[in-house]
C-alpha cells in the first residue's frame, strides 16, 4: 500500500509541474491576446484539478493505511491465506430466500417497464421474501 501512496503523490507533483509549465508556456507564447497576461483556462484548470484529485486519493490512502494500523496480511505478498482470516459474519448456506428476494425485484422492475399491474405483485413477493429471510432460523430444520 505504501508504494501506491507514493505513486499517487508522484502523480500529484507531476500534474502540478505540468500545469505550471503549461500555464507559463501559454502566457509566454501568446502575450498579444489581451495585452496583459492571458491564461488558457481550460487546460490550466484541468491539469490543476488532476493534481488536486491525485492528492485527494493519496491523502485518503494515507489516512486509511494509518487507521488500519499498518500493512494488512492481504497487502503482503509473502503472507498465507490463513494470515488474514477473520470472521466475516453468519451466512445461510442453504437459504433460498435471497433468490426469492431477487425475483421480487425482477417482477417489480418488469412491472415498471411493461405494466403497472405487476408492481403490487412484486411488492407482495418482496414482503414474503423479507419475512421468510428474517425468520428462517426460527422455524424448520435450522431453528435454534
Q: Would you place residue 142 in the very low, low, confident or very high pLDDT band (cuts 50, 70, 90)?
A: low
Nine cell digits for residue 4 = 501506491
Sequence-distant (≥ 6) Cβ neighbours of residue 73 within 8 angstroms: 79, 83, 84
In this predicted structure, what is the pLDDT of residue 37?
67
Give tens-digit pLDDT for 46-79.
999 999 999 999 999 999 888 888 777 777 888 8
Widest CA span of the chain, in angstroms?
A: 85
Residue 33 reports pLDDT greater than 90: no
Residue 35 reports pLDDT greater than 70: no
Residue 34 reports pLDDT greater than 70: no
Closest C-alpha among 55, 136, 137 to residue 97: 136
Nine cell digits for residue 78 = 509473502
| pTM over the 0.85 mark | no
In this predicted structure, what is the pLDDT of residue 107?
96
Q: Would you place residue 29 in the very low, low, confident or very high pLDDT band (cuts 50, 70, 90)?
A: confident
> Do 122 and 105 form a contact (C-beta atoms < 8 A)?
yes
Distances (CA, A) of 55 to 7, 11, 63, 133: 10, 8, 12, 44
> Do 117 and 111 form a contact (C-beta atoms < 8 A)?
yes
Give tens-digit pLDDT for 85-133.
777 777 777 788 999 999 999 999 999 999 899 999 999 999 999 999 8
Which one-letter DSSP state was computed for residue 138? S
> Do 105 and 115 form a contact (C-beta atoms < 8 A)?
no
Which one-letter DSSP state was computed for residue 70? S
Amino acid at each position: 500500500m505504501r508504494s501506491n501512496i507514493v505513486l499517487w503523490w508522484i502523480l500529484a507533483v507531476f500534474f502540478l509541474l505540468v500545469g505550471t509549465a503549461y500555464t507559463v508556456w501559454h502566457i509566454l507564447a501568446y502575450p498579444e491576446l489581451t495585452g496583459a497576461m492571458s491564461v488558457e483556462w481550460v487546460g490550466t484548470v484541468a491539469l490543476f484539478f488532476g493534481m488536486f484529485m491525485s492528492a485527494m486519493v493519496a491523502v485518503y490512502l494515507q489516512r486509511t493505511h494509518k487507521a488500519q494500523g499498518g500493512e494488512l496480511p492481504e497487502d503482503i505478498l509473502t503472507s498465507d491465506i490463513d494470515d488474514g482470516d477473520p470472521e466475516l459474519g453468519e451466512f445461510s448456506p442453504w437459504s433460498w430466500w435471497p433468490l426469492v428476494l431477487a425475483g421480487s425485484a425482477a417482477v417489480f422492475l418488469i412491472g415498471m417497464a411493461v405494466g403497472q399491474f405487476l408492481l403490487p405483485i412484486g411488492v407482495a413477493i418482496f414482503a414474503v421474501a423479507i419475512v421468510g429471510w428474517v425468520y428462517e432460523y426460527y422455524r424448520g430444520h435450522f431453528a435454534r
